[in-house]
Amino acid sequence: DTGVSQDPRHKITKRGQNVTFRCDPISEHNRLYWYRQTLGQGPEFLTYFQNEAQLEKSRLLSDRFSAERPKGSFSTLEIQRTEQGDSAMYLCASIFHSPHTDTQYFGPGTRLTVL
């Protein structure tokens, strides 16, 4: 257990429905990242937050995706009007960013299946 938790661990939804995932990072960590991982691939960067500010978004993050970190602690990732291609593992990671370390600690992920 890295100290990063994600909820739910599994989500099955029908195409067109909205889903929301939650990530609770390690409490003193100032950066939080979201990744998507499909079978046989490495994690793909989606977006990251420095405290409550969303500083970078990948072009993978279509307008159906939105992420928030309202108080600089937990974060949510919402997918609207889900499509079958959204089926993947969604991973959250956090770090305490400093000039000396950028070690990411990953949560267990949320596996999304869109039927």
Give the integer Cα–Cα distance in Å for 91 and 35. Answer: 5
The answer to whether 92 and 23 have CB atoms below 8 angstroms apart is yes
Q: What are phi and psi of 84, to 5 degrees?
A: -60, -30
Least CB distance from residue 22 to other proteins, whole Å? 15
Give the tokens for residue 109: 């992920």
- By rule CB under 8 A, what string of x and - marks binding of each residue 9-38 to other proteins? ----------------------x-x---x-
| Among positions 27, 28, 42, 71, the unique one binding other proteins when judged by CB under 8 A | 42
Q: What are phi and psi of 86, to 5 degrees?
A: -80, -10
Give the interface with other proteins as residue ranges (CB under 8 A). 2, 4, 31, 33, 37, 39-45, 48, 55-56, 58, 89, 91, 93, 95, 97, 101-109, 111
